[in-house]
Amino acid sequence: MSQVIEYGNLVNRLFNLDKNIRFVAVANKSGEILATGSKSDTVLFLSPEETQETLHHAITAWKSREKHYPKIGEGVYTLAVYEKLRRATIPLPSGNLLLVTIDNAGGQQRIMDKIINEVKIHDHSGTTSS
C-alpha cells in the first residue's frame, strides 16, 4: 500500500544521515516550500525570503536543464561550493526540489551518496511504500 510522503519526516531523516547537514528544504515546482528545517545549533546565513529566492532560481535552472535530458540523461544533483557552506539541489522523483546545505567540514561525496540513497528510497512519485 502507498501513502503520500510526509516531507517533514524526510527532512528529519536527512539530518540523521550526517552531522554536517545544516539545513534542508523541499519546494514544489512553483517554489512553495513544503517542508524546511535546520539543526538547532545552526546559524542560518540567509533569511527565509532569501532562501525562497534561492529556491526559485534553482527551480528555474532545473527546468531549463530538462530539454537536454534526452541527450545527456536526467540530472541527479547540483552542488555549489561557497566559502561558508556547500549547497546541493536535488530534483525529487515526485517533481519537487530538495535543497540541502552542508558544512564545509564534511566529506561531500559521502554525504551526497547518503542523501541520494535516502531520496531514492522515500520519494518515488511522491509516495513511499508501507
Domain ranges of the chain: 2-129
* Strand segments (E) across 66-119: 78-81, 86-91, 97-102
Q: What is the per-residue pLDDT across 15-64, written as a single tens digit (0 to 9) for each?
A: 999 899 999 999 999 989 999 999 888 999 999 999 999 999 999 999 99
Which class would CATH give 2-129? alpha beta
- Give this prediction's pTM: 0.80
C-alpha to C-alpha distance for 119 and 116, rounded to whole angstroms = 5
Using the predicted structure, report yes or no on whether residue 106 has a pLDDT greater than 70. no
How many contiguous H segments (helices) and E segments (strands) does the chain have?
4, 7
In the Cβ-directed half-sphere of 67, how many Cα atoms lie within 13 Å? 4
**Which pLDDT score, from 0 to 100, does residue 97 have?**
95
